[in-house]
Amino acid sequence: MVASNQENFNNEELDDILRKHFTNNFRFGYVTIDGTTMPKRFEDLHEQILNFEVNEDDVWICSFPKTGTTWTQEMVWMIMHDLDFEGGQVNLGQRSPFLEVSAIYDFRNLMRNNKDFVPPPFLQDSLKFVKEQENPACIKTHLPFHLLPLDIQSGRKNPKIIYVARNPKDTCVSYYHHSRALEGYTGTFDDFVRLFLAGKLNFAPYWDHVLRYWEKREQSNVLFVKYEDMKLDLPGVIRKVASFLGKNLSAEQVAALSNHLSFENMKNNPAVNYEMVTELNKKFNLTRHHGAFMRSGTIGGYKSQMTPEIVDRFDKWTEFHTGNTDFSF
């Protein structure tokens, strides 16, 4: 990672924060692979993912964590399946599997120590589960472009890719609460900010992630979507995504899907709100903090949590990484 000239990162100190506050009974350390921070378990999946056989009929939903991925997944799956609301009652992790989730939640020790614990297949062996999907599949991944299957990186295969991005300040706050509630982070918000800015969180550095996909946005198989646009004009984004997927939706269908995708409906929908994972956390005491997967979903929510000093650090960091690009939120 190229560090901002406004930030001095002590990698040894940050690695110690990760070990102390972000290692638990389903996360056993971290590695850096081609410049990207990943859970140590990812080492076992890396080559398999690079050599993953890609089907061009599939749709890949790519994003940095906590940028509107679940929202986009549900929208895309519904459009692909002609607004099958009944079929949509099946858990989203089964309908739109998360390619590398087995690296995020490594349940092998928990399964050995609790013989009655059998996680669903899409959590237990996510690569196998994705490979067994019927085509066209709707695949989620948080991997940066350079860790995607070589079929995609090389252009040998060109499945449709929908990338969703969100303002980094809101992303950081949402990622912090998510990490406390679902991934076992026990440190402070200030330390989490330091990890975020230094690229020391899973799938980071953030700007490397976003800008590599932004560079691909003119390709015919790539659609770049911003979370803020979804919040401000969800029907318009639905129509844009439907067109990209070759689907025609009536005004009534757009209205029905917009209602289905409202924050309140998503938050109260057990098929998409990660209720199953939060219940697992409570049952096995996997995390110290328990909270909802979907918290507020607002634009600018960072203002209630970030100090002016942190906001200034983010703004300078953003300018450093985007100043020579045409990207902005």
Distances in Å between the Cα of 91 and the Cα atoms of 70, 82, 320 are 12, 17, 40
Distances in Å between the Cα of 270 and the Cα atoms of 87, 220, 297 are 13, 34, 17
Strand segments (E) across the chain: 30-33, 36-39, 59-63, 138-141, 160-165, 222-226
Per annotation, catalytic residue among 21, 46, 81, 142: 142
Q: What's the residue count for the chain?
A: 329
Tokens representing 37? Answer: 């921070």
- The angle subtended at Cα 189 by Cα 186 and Cα 190, nearest 5°, is 120
- The angle subtended at Cα 178 by Cα 95 and Cα 38, nearest 5°, is 80
CA distance 75 to 91: 14
Q: Catalytic residue at 209?
A: no
Catalytic residues: 142
